[in-house]
Structures are given as C-alpha cells and as structure tokens.
Amino acid sequence: MPYKGFNTPTVSMKENISSRWRELHGSNHWENLLEPLDPSLRQEIIKYGEFSQAAYDSFDFDTYSKYCGSNYYRKDELFDKLHLTRHGYKITKYIYAMSDIVMPHWLETSLADSAWSKESNWMGYVAVSTDDESERLGRRDIVVAWRGTIAPAEWIQNVKVQLTPLGEGNVKVEQGFLSVYATKSKSSKYSKKSASQQVMKEIKKLVSFYEEKGEELSLTITGHSLGGALALLNAHEAAITFGNDVPVCAITFAGPRVGNIAFRDKLNKIAVKVLRVVNKTDMVPKIPGFGLMEAMTQNKLGRSIAQKLHWTYVHVGVELEVNISKSRFVKHEFDLVGFHSLEVYLHLVDGHYSSKSEFRKDAKRDPALINKSTDMLIDELKIPENWRQFSNKGLVYNEYGRWVEPTRVEDDLPSPTSVSSDEDLDQENQMN
C-alpha cells in the first residue's frame, strides 16, 4: 500500500485558542473533548508530546561518548536543531537527576574518570511560551518536559513495589520514582540540588517574573514513561506551592501508576488536572500494582480494603486510550518496545478520532517518525528501521586531520561550583 502523503504538510494550521484555553487545559477534566477528540486539544496534546520526545532526541546515550548521559545541544539551540521552533517556546533551564533507575546497565561503560558525570543524568527542561505564542494561547504557558528512560524493560525490572511517604498524611508514592525526583548529593557537580529543587526554583522565578508583569499563567508538565511519573510528582509539588494562582496540568504518555489512593485524592484536592494518554497494548501503564486492585477502589468496601494494603497503586486523572491496531501504517505484530514508543503514541493521537471510529484519513503527522528508533512501519512504506543517527556517529574532522568527538560547552549548570559551603547549600534549599 503506497503512502501518498509525502508531499503534504505534516501539521495543521494553528488556531487561536485564547477564548477556550482553560477547558483545553483541563479545567473541566476535558469533559466532552475526548469522545470525539477535539481537534484543538489533539494539536495541544501532540505539541506537549513533542516536547517530551525532544528530551529523548537530544539525550546522549552513546556509551562511547564521554558525555554519555548529557544533552547534545545547548538550551538555546535545542528546539532549532529538532525542528520545534514552530511551537513558539524557548527553553530557560535544564534539569538533572541522579538515581539507579536513571542509570541502566548500558550507561555504566561511560562512568570512567573522564566521564561527563559519574552520578547525574540530564533529565529534562523548563520552557516558556514566547509573546506571539502566548497571545494565541491566551496566557503565558510554562512547560516542564521530563525524559523517560531509553529502554522501558531496563527500568521496569528495577521498579520497587514499595510505597514511600510523600509529605504529610497517608500520601505515598513509588519509592524509585521519588528517588529520581528528590535525590541530591553535595559532592555532585550537577546534583547538589535535586531535580525537584532545580525545577521548582526555575518555575518560581518564571511565575514571579510574569506575575509582576500582570500576565495570566499556566503550568503544563509533560513526560513519557518514567517521565510521566516525574510529571505527576512535579505537578503535586507545584500545585501545593502556587495554590489557585497558577493552574497546573499534567499531560503524560505511557505513564505508570505512581502512588496510592491518598496520592490520587490529594492531586484531586489541590486541583491538579491530569490527562493520561495510553496505548491499549502498552504494558507500562499497567504497572506497578494490579488493575484488579485499582478496580476495587471504585466502591466503598473495596476502597476500604485497598487503603490497608501497602502495595495498592491507582492511576490519576482522565485517560485517553489510543489503539495501535487501528493504524494502517504499522505492523500488527507483538513489539514490546514499539508499543511503548512515544513516536508511536504521537502517531496514534494524530490518527485518533474516537474509540469507535477508524484511524483518521486526514492525519498529518509524518509516519516516518515512527521508525526513528523502531521497526514498526509496514515494509511497503520503504522507511529504514532505526534511521535516526548522527553523521559519522558524532565524530568530526579536526584541524589536525583527526576524527574526534567534539567538545561541548557546559550549559546551564544547576549546581555552580561557587556554592561550596554547607551554609550556602542550606540557604538554597530553604528557597526551594
């Protein structure tokens, strides 16, 4: 089946959504917007998904590189390099994290003395809408995009079923996810402050700056897989910090369950709006915990039982389920990694109209993107598998006639070396 869409635009015309931005941001839990899927909401979901995908596409996971675990690009060039300037946002801050889950076995070979960092990984970024985009959106939108891990199987096997307390009361979340979000080390160049402290400091700075200018604000947090879990933890902290002053929304893709019933109830109480995009055949959203236990929480008796069990996990928010079996572009074969791929998710969102309809014939997003890191596309499309790679695998020809790895400039250090004393660190922690 030849594909006839290669000479057509891959995106729709942008619409001015200033008059309805609150409902698109989840003020009414996306009621009447998902079935069928509202076209403007579809565009917004794909936009935020592409911000999350950028966190993968700019991440250096080449074990031959001394910069493995960092970002290929400076923050002022990332969107340009990844063809995302059309969205109208600028990156203001990079985020770094440290945890066993963020460092799977393929990263160990880079942890020599000459490595970029022995304990930290680049984990995402904060961005803000430009003046023109803010006018279209009807508000100044602050975005946090979190990266997931490269291979889902590598962190699935490390996910701990143990719930650990988050703040006061009975609110608990998965221990490994919280470790990624909250771990720090005084000896680390990039993680003297935790990912939580880094991101919240930047959000507070942006909120203060734009509030002083009298602008209306929103905070949208997005992530895929592990990044989806981090997005919920980030949304929880942000909503507690800003109260009703800044609407907080999380749009996640392939996100796992993160916490217990009390965590879900707390997010509802503090008005965090969550839209979870789930591929029906993806296994990651089904963990940790068991769907049967989650179903029990829908009635009073089951909820009472589930609350007493330390391993009861539940999802949060509203679910938008997409179905890979509807796409005419992908192979309908079992592919654990492919089912979980964010590019596959974005393809399915673009083609989704309703749960009962076929794949949209006027879907615009380029199917070739699916095969950037998979072999999911049907052979008739003639798109090579795993086609995305750097020219000469990243090596450059230097002035001496040698092929070498280019030097990168340190960008946006979250833990400046000038912060050296315990007193200075304590002062910074109090600000967060």
Options 87, 315, 340, 352, the catalytic residue: 340
Domain boundaries, the chain: 21-431
- Tell me which residue of 108, 78, 111 sits closest to 95, measured CA to CA: 78
Which residues make Cβ contacts (< 8 Å) with residue 303, sequence separation at least 6? 261, 296, 297
**Cα(85)–Cα(339) distance, rounded to whole angstroms?**
28
* pLDDT 10s digits, 287-337: 887 554 555 555 555 555 555 555 689 999 999 999 999 999 999 899 988
Catalytic residue among 40, 65, 188, 225: 225
Banded pLDDT at 63 (limits 50, 70, 90): confident
**Ramachandran assignment for 69, one of left (phi > 0), alpha (psi -120 to 50 degrees), beta (any other):** left
What's the predicted TM-score (pTM) here?
0.89
Would you give the DSSP letter of residue 410? -
In whole angstroms, what is the distance from residue 198 CA to residue 171 CA? 23
Which pLDDT value is given to residue 413? Answer: 55
Give the three-class secondary structure for 430: helix
Q: Helix or strand or coil: residue 376?
A: coil
Higher-confidence residue of 5 and 147: namely: 147
Given this model, what pLDDT does residue 111 score? 47
Q: Which residue has the tokens 């890979």?
A: 324
146 closest CA partner among 165, 128, 122: 122
Contact 128, 141 (CB under 8 A): yes
Q: Determine the Cα–Cα distance for residues 381 and 367; give it in Å rounded to an integer.
A: 9
Instruction: Answer whether residue 5 shows pLDDT above 80.
Output: no
> Which is nearest to 319 in space by CA: 352, 347, 344?
352
| Residue of 348 and 161 predicted with greater confidence | 348
* Cα–Cα distance measured from residue 298 to residue 292, given in angstroms and rounded to the nearest whole number: 11
Tell me, yes or no, if 225 is annotated catalytic: yes
Average pLDDT, the chain: 86
Region 21-431: CATH code: 3.40.50.1820
Residues 215-232: tens digit of each pLDDT: 999 999 999 999 999 999
Q: Give the torsion through C-alpha atoms of 296, 300, 306, 312, to 10 deg.
A: 60
Residue 307 has a pLDDT of 56
Q: What percent of the chain has pLDDT over 70?
A: 81
User: Helices 39-57 and 342-351: crossing angle, nearest 10°?
Assistant: 170
pLDDT digits 0-9 by tens, 158-176: 566 688 999 878 999 998 8
State the first-to-last Cα distance of the chain, in angstroms, to the nearest integer.
56
Residue 429 · residue 200 · CB < 8 Å: no
The pLDDT value recorded for residue 423 is 39
Query: What local confidence, expressed as pLDDT, does residue 430 receive?
Result: 39
| Residue 123 scores a pLDDT above 50 | yes
- Is 65 known to be catalytic? no
For this structure, is 131 an active site residue? no
Distance, CA of 269 to CA of 311 (rounded, Å) = 22
pLDDT tens column, 22-52: 999 999 999 999 999 999 999 999 999 999 9
- What local confidence, expressed as pLDDT, does residue 110 receive? 47
Mean pLDDT: which of 130-144, 302-316, 414-428 is highest?
130-144
Q: Find out whether 337 and 374 touch, Cβ atoms under 8 Å.
A: yes
Tell me which of 60, 282, 366, 412 is the catalytic residue.
282
- DSSP of 73-133, one letter per residue? S-TTTHHHHTT-GGG-EEEEEEEEE--TTTS-GGGGGG-STTSS-SS-EEEEEEEEE-HHH
